Amino acid sequence: MGKKHAEERKPSRAKTPTFLLELPLVADAGQAARLGGHLEVGRQFYNAVLSAGQRRLRRMRADPAWQAARAIPRTQRQERRAVFSALRERYGFSEYAFHELAKGLRVSWLAEHLDAVLAQTLASRAYRALNRVCLGKARRVRFKSRGRGLSSIENKRKDTGMRFVLEPRAEGRPQGCLLWHDEKLRALIDWDDPVVAHGLAHEVKYARLVRRRASSPRAQGADSEGERYFVQLALAGTPLQKPKHAVGSQTIGLDLGPSSIAIVPREAEARLEPLCAELRPDARAIRRLQRKMERQRRAANPEHYDEKGRAKKRGKGAPRWKQSRGYQATRRRKATRERRLAAHRKSLHGRLVHQIVAVGHTIVTEKISYKGWQKRYGRSVGLRAPGMLIDQLKRTVASTGGTLHEVPTRSTKLSQYCHGCGQTVNKPLWQRWHQCACGIGSVQRDLYSAFLAAYLDPADPIPSCARYVVPWEGAEARLRAAHERATQRAKEGQVMPRSMGIPRAGARLPKSRGEATQELLFLSRRGKVEAWKHRSEPPELELGESSGKVSTPPPF
Ligand SMILES: [Zn+2]
């Protein structure tokens, strides 16, 4: 029976590996205007599908049968699935039904701008967005606003509609072009770049047009609106492999914090480092731009604020928010900054991952709830993205034949455990040192947890005293050395996160009066200025530490 079915269906596209290559496009003013027009139609079409789909989703969820289906226990998987899929069928909530919906919506003038296949990919996109809401993975969907527009549109085949072609030339290397409607957009190809040459030697599956806002209309390759166009090619095959990095054979324990990382291999040197410390100036610049945007928004929209400067509640029919030219320019600059920050973070993560993998490819770490972290340390986690680091490490380790073991925190409790007496004692967050009455310590707590992780048995991740007796003899000195190196770097001026238990060397003496005032303002915002006033010591010596508790390292 299955065979018959398979023959009737279109030959399903086999899942072959795909990789992306992005090339900048050259668009003259006329072309840019026409592309903008097509994308605007795409935006309206996407919103229309999204809106119709949202109505379907709401109706489906309002059906009493939906609640009944949700009540079916998850253990009865087949039954649950059958009921849900029947509901989806009835309310037309499936990718296929959305394609039908798109067919009905793509009429008259829309059709001139939007080929059928492109309309279909937009409908799939709307479906995926709504399906995330349906599955509880997202709270709501976003409609694309006129101001921001649709930033990309893609085909799913290479023979009709928007497509990429390589045209041989009489001399020199072929010229690549994106064809769409009657436009022919030249792609800038650097044939000497091995990544580009490798990509273009592969078969193109489909093309995607991407529009990005440049930092200014005068930026290189931008049109008069400050937009830049790119083509992304989905290519069959695998991306160019860079020469292999060295891979070590050690077992490594990791302790990842929201802003620091402790790396303890079984044999080699241990490390305690701030996570992505280099991103701080970028983040600061972005925050400055954010504040500037806020000021510009206020200046242009006084009617939206009450006499105390608070934003008024918005009801239906409230006046629109106005965007000044200056505001738009700041927003573009901020977007560019954010893109740069993301790229910088990625490269920092990559560097750290390769340094870790160079030592060993069996890695043990505690499984962390990044969602919980997000709540507690939102800004730091958003900036340093430790979850992304772990994901990248997992992929890299897997590609070298190693494994990353994430052991459950609840059973291991490495941050509370002491291997000398086997007791688990909850340490408050500010306590940065492990020092136990049984004689273990003192040792920096992140390094100590990483050490405990390094010698865990991932198959049975319960720490036991016997495991650690021998390794501890060699490790204690290594852990101290790691902390001393970090302290040394802090003395040389590197900023270390509080969690590392290093008093901030750089913050002890303000470099200028201006800085001191800023620090004061910061303190008063947090309501700490009172406590500071009543201190008996000269305030300059304590500024860096008065706003939080740092336990100083006990003498060794
Ligand atoms: Zn103990």
Give the pLDDT of residue 421. 87
Cα(388)–Cα(351) distance, integer angstroms: 13
Name the burial class of residue 265, with classes exposed (0-12), middle (13-18) and buried (19+) by CB atoms within 10 angstroms of its CB: buried
Q: How far is the CA of 311 from the centre of ligand 1 (A)?
A: 54
Cα(418)–Cα(424) distance, integer angstroms: 6
Q: How far is the CA of 472 from the centre of ligand 1 (A)?
A: 13
Cα(448)–Cα(433) distance, integer angstroms: 9
Q: How far is the CA of 430 from the centre of ligand 1 (A)?
A: 19
Cα(35)–Cα(456) distance, integer angstroms: 58
Give the pLDDT of residue 502. 75
Cα(409)–Cα(407) distance, integer angstroms: 6
Strand ranges across the sheet with 403-407? 271-274, 260-265, 250-256, 360-366, 403-407
Decide if 280 contacts 493 (C-beta within 8 A).
Answer: no
Count CA atoms closer than 13 A to 313's CA, side-chain side.
Answer: 2
Confidence of residue 361 (pLDDT cuts 50, 70, 90): confident
Task: Measure CA of the first residue to CA of the last residue in the chain; give whole Å.
Answer: 76
Q: How far is the CA of 499 from the centre of ligand 1 (A)?
A: 22
Q: How far is the CA of 502 from the centre of ligand 1 (A)?
A: 23
Decide if 263 contacts 254 (C-beta within 8 A).
Answer: yes
Cα(69)–Cα(340) distance, integer angstroms: 46
Tokens describing residue 20? 């992306």
Q: How far is the CA of 465 from the centre of ligand 1 (A)?
A: 10
Q: How far is the CA of 423 from the centre of ligand 1 (A)?
A: 6
Q: What pLDDT digit, counting tens, does each position of 130-154 carry?
A: 999 998 888 899 999 887 888 899 9
Q: How far is the CA of 443 from the centre of ligand 1 (A)?
A: 12
Neighbours of 399 (CB within 10 A): 13
Report which of residues 146 and 539 the model is more confident about. 146
Give the pLDDT of residue 112. 83
Confidence of residue 41 (pLDDT cuts 50, 70, 90): very high
Confidence of residue 97 (pLDDT cuts 50, 70, 90): very high
Cα(415)–Cα(408) distance, integer angstroms: 12
Cα(186)–Cα(122) distance, integer angstroms: 25
Judged against a pLDDT cut of 60, whether residue 54 lies above it is answered with: yes
Q: How far is the CA of 275 from the centre of ligand 1 (A)?
A: 29
Q: How far is the CA of 439 from the centre of ligand 1 (A)?
A: 7
**Residue bearing tokens 């002491």:** 418
Q: How far is the CA of 413 from the centre of ligand 1 (A)?
A: 14
Q: How far is the CA of 424 from the centre of ligand 1 (A)?
A: 8
Q: What pLDDT digit, counting tens, does each position of 506-534 carry?
A: 444 434 443 333 333 444 444 443 333 34
Q: How far is the CA of 425 from the centre of ligand 1 (A)?
A: 9
Neighbours of 433 (CB within 10 A): 17
Q: How far is the CA of 437 from the centre of ligand 1 (A)?
A: 6
Neighbours of 335 (CB within 10 A): 16
DSSP for 302-328, please give it.
GGGB-TTSPBPPP-TTPPPPP--HHHH
Q: How far is the CA of 457 from the centre of ligand 1 (A)?
A: 21
Q: How far is the CA of 231 from the centre of ligand 1 (A)?
A: 60
Cα(150)–Cα(426) distance, integer angstroms: 50
Give the pLDDT of residue 353. 92
Tokens describing residue 200? 């273009």
**Residue bearing tokens 């910088």:** 344
List of residues 6+ apart from 18 with CB closer than 8 A: 205, 234, 235, 236, 237
Strand, helix or coil for residue 209 = strand
Phi-psi region of 226 (alpha: psi -120 to 50; beta: other; left: phi over 0): left
Q: How far is the CA of 466 from the centre of ligand 1 (A)?
A: 13
Q: How far is the CA of 440 from the centre of ligand 1 (A)?
A: 6
Q: How far is the CA of 488 from the centre of ligand 1 (A)?
A: 28
Cα(483)–Cα(170) distance, integer angstroms: 64
Q: How far is the CA of 434 from the centre of ligand 1 (A)?
A: 9
